Amino acid sequence: MKILIDGHMLGSNEGGNERYTKNLILSLSKIAPIGVLLYKKLRFVKKIYSHIIINNDFIRLLIAPIIMIINGYDVLHVNYLLPFWKPLRIKYVLTVHDLYFKRSPNSYSYKDKFIFYVLFPYSLWLCDAIIVPSNFSRSELIHFYPQYTNKVFVTYYGVDPVFRKINRRISSIPYFLAIASKSERKNIRTICNAFIEARMENTHLYIIGIKPQDTAIPRNHNIHFLGYVPDSRLNMLYHEARALIYASSYEGFGLPPLEALACDTQVIASDTPCMREIGGHMYSYYQKGK
């Protein structure tokens, strides 16, 4: 069986979704011939036969089946959005990380709404199997699209090997760590306000994933926005932190808490169904108002 994986987001610093796709490629390449759709050459796929295509989503979704036919691929894996058509003998596998767009549609642009409300349902109809990362995500997908119940399979995420326990050391500058994005569901503003109100003058808060201009959070000399950091540095930040604060209101899985736990770092996480499923008794739960 030959497998083609849509990895067009690789190299774009997209966080968990990119890390998931990277490790899917590396793992499957050990047991089957793998091809990867890319927008640019990447070092870690240099030993894998890959196709580099034009940096255009429309063209990618149009010609991926042609690439599969020419090169004899049997299965295509993508995240969220499948090509516009499917050859008869080829199987399509779709990974759906979460359905936040259904719970909070106003958080998305008109372009994203078109993708999620027009093209995504078409992809659900076209695919042969749907992978979700948790039972919570499965229940969400079945709630909104019950006609595809028999297609949905839960496959939990794993922790990237870069996040591992090493000789633990605590930074001489005490700090908490938070993982952010531009999405309001990460509740970074709430975390920052709580940190400021706590008046921990000698403690700092490091925020990964966004820059100061990406948010309207009040400025404070103890709050530092680090933007994107490579995984090797993130591993060290996990190890030296007092704790990871992960107060997201909605996740399909939530990799950062598991990455922190793999580094033997404490986690303060939101009390949501997904966090309870993934972390269980290992988490100290963050609850609003406490």
Backbone angles phi, psi at 51, to 5 degrees: -115, 130
Beta bridge partners of 224: 206
Nearest in space to 102 (alpha carbons), one of 66, 75, 140, 51: 140
The burial of 170, by beta-carbon neighbours within 10 Å (0-12 exposed, 13-18 middle, 19 or more buried), is given as exposed
CA distances from 235 to 43, 227, 238, 283 (A): 20, 15, 5, 19
> What are the φ/ψ torsions at residue 128 (nearest 5 degrees)?
-100, -25
State the CB neighbour count (10 A cutoff) for residue 109: 8
Quote the CA–CA distance of 139 and 93 in Å, as a whole number. Answer: 19
* 102/117 Cα distance (integer angstroms): 9
Q: Is the distance from CB of 153 to CB of 94 less than 8 angstroms? A: no
Q: Give dist(CA 202, CA 36) in Å, integer.
A: 47
Q: Give the other-Cβ count within 10 Å of 131's Cβ.
A: 20
- Residues 256, 186: contact at Cβ < 8 Å? no
- pTM for this entry: 0.87
| DSSP conformation class of 116 | I
Calpha distance 223→234 (Å, rounded): 17
Give the residue from 91, 89, 114 showing the smallest Cα distance to 101. 114
For the chain, what is the radius of gyration of the CA atoms? 20
Tens place of pLDDT per residue across the chain (290 aa): 899 999 988 887 777 788 899 999 989 989 999 999 988 877 777 767 778 887 788 888 999 999 999 999 999 999 999 999 999 999 999 999 999 999 999 889 999 999 999 999 999 999 999 999 999 999 999 999 999 999 999 999 988 888 887 776 666 789 999 998 877 889 988 899 899 888 888 899 999 988 876 666 767 789 999 988 988 899 999 999 999 999 999 999 989 999 998 888 999 998 888 888 887 655 444 333 33
Rounded Cα–Cα distance for residues 259 and 112 (Å): 29
Cα-flanking dihedrals φ and ψ of residue 27, to 5°?
A: -75, -45
Contact 272, 250 (CB under 8 A): yes
